[in-house]
A = this chain, B = another copy of it.
Amino acid sequence: MILTVTLNLALDVTYVVGDVDWNGMNRVGSAHRRAGGKGVNVARVLTSLGHEVLATGLAGGRTGDAVLADLALAGVTADFTPIAAESRTTLVVSEAGASGSRRNALFNEPGPVVAEDDLARFTRHFAGLLRDADAVVISGSLPPGTPPDFYAGLAAMAAERGVPAIVDADGAPLRHALSGRPAIIKPNADELARAASGEAPPRTASRPRSADADGSANTHGSANTERGADADRSAFADRAQALRSAGAESVVVSLGARGALAVTPGGSWRARMPREITGNPTGAGDALVAGLALGLVEATPWPDRLRRATALGAAAVAAPLAGDVDPDVYLALHPAIGIEPVS
């Protein structure tokens, strides 16, 4: 079983609205509600692929209940630690009006303030669940009140029990996690740069608008020239090696439309996308992580592991909702993704 951890569980709400009046009253055409949070998305992808998975984390209040009910509906096995505070909601206002304006505004609540006792209860629960876990995926932001080295502690507990851990986080939680000796960390280009420099994540990050799901590799102007791409690749590899030296066994850098880079004990590989996939990049990184987790438990060689993970990430871009993958896109893309060793 693959165990996924989502400490900052979310109810993801999407409002589809016509031409939005940003200083006025808007009637919502349709409202969708769905279980969210990065670990939950990973669990959805693994469940849809028929793999045994258990989603855990913290769930509180009526919002937490709504998320758990939606997970049950989706057939995702879940065993969350109940907390007193209310789980958060995230909202996307998606414009679909006659004017052709297609803005998407995302609003992320910070999440419940978690009590020390909640974390202690979760840690005990996590220790029990590790017994049946072949791998553990630790994803997403920490809710307020959680110490920044919390993921490091979870990864170390897993490592002690011989369970490989994947950590997909940002900023201080990711930097601290290295001391827990995770099997894989999966930053995007921006997260990699921040982890290497010690810089904090921005308070308001621009939302990715293309298949470059996992951050902003294409905000590097130099990426458009081969020379620039080589320079970037070299910088990514150097930073990834630095994070390996700091404790991660392997580092996979997701580069959105430009593929991914894996830096591992057995070598480094670059995955190249045969074409750009357009769609909803939210959740693409989570699908890629699901692919890495499958590769871990099946002990797939790294080139194949990277190809499958990258194909799953792209197939998630083609599916409208985070946590879903488009099987046709997966089947078409998977054999066409080029894997080349990086020296």
User: Could you tell me which A residues sit within 8 Å of B by CB distance?
Assistant: 13, 15, 17-18, 20-28, 31, 62-63, 65-66, 89, 91, 93, 103-110, 203-207, 209
Main secondary structure of the interface of A (DSSP, over half): mixed
Q: Are A17 and B66 in contact (CB under 8 A)?
A: no
- Inter-chain CA distance A106–B206, complex, in Å, is 23
Q: Are A107 and B65 in contact (CB under 8 A)?
A: no
Q: Are B104 and A21 in contact (CB under 8 A)?
A: no
Number of copies: 2
- Inter-chain CA distance A110–B109, complex, in Å, is 23
- Minimum CB–CB distance from A102 to chain B (whole Å) comes to 9
- In the complex, chain B residues whose CB is within 8 Å of the CB of A205: 24-25
- In the complex, chain B residues whose CB is within 8 Å of the CB of A108: 25-28
- Minimum CB–CB distance from A261 to chain B (whole Å) comes to 24
- Inter-chain CA distance A103–B21, complex, in Å, is 10
Q: Are A21 and B105 in contact (CB under 8 A)?
A: yes
- Inter-chain CA distance A21–B107, complex, in Å, is 10
- In the complex, chain B residues whose CB is within 8 Å of the CB of A209: 23
Q: Are B62 and A31 in contact (CB under 8 A)?
A: no
Answer whether A31 and B109 are a contact pair too, CB < 8 Å, given A91-B91, A204-B21, A206-B21. Answer: yes
Q: Are B27 and A204 in contact (CB under 8 A)?
A: yes
- Inter-chain CA distance A27–B141, complex, in Å, is 12
Q: Are B204 and A25 in contact (CB under 8 A)?
A: yes
Q: Are A24 and B107 in contact (CB under 8 A)?
A: no
